[in-house]
């Protein structure tokens, strides 16, 4: 069984966000993680939270376990990459769902 999260982002800078994805990918692999689906979206029709109506990127990210996911998001190297690229390139992020798969 694996663990997956469905994420919505408001990406402000596509180039810097792509740099983030490139830099974090080896760390993600170390934690047995991978991307599943990845969509660029142009319009949010319904959103339960008004502050997330500007989502323009939706993707799934998979891990072999919930513990691996938690380890990844708290990894010191990942946090450096996040600070360097993600913070400036993404205006908002929301976990839409998380579940065992």
Distance CA 13, CA 95 (A): 20
Give the model's confidence band at 75: pLDDT under 50 very low, under 70 low, under 90 confident, else very high: very high
- Please give the mean pLDDT across all residues of the chain: 94
Residues 6+ positions from 48 with CB-CB distance below 8 Å: none
**Banded model confidence at residue 52, pLDDT cuts 50, 70, 90:** low
Look up the pTM and report it.
0.91
| Integer CA distances (angstroms), 5 to 13, 25, 53, 78, 100, in order | 23, 16, 19, 17, 9
Residue 56's nearest CA partner among 30, 94, 4, 20 is 94
């Amino acid at each position: 069984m694996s663990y997956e999260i469905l994420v919505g982002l408001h990406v402000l800078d596509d180039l810097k966000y792509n740099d983030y994805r490139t830099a974090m990918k080896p760390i993600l692999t170390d934690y047995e993680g991978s991307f599943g689906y990845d969509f660029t979206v142009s319009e949010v029709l319904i959103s339960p939270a008004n502050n997330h109506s500007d989502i323009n990127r939706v993707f799934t990210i998979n891990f072999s376990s919930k513990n691996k996911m938690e380890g990844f998001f708290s990894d010191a190297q990942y946090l450096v990459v996040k600070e360097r690229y993600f913070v400036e390139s993404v205006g908002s992020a929301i976990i839409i769902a998380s579940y065992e798969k």
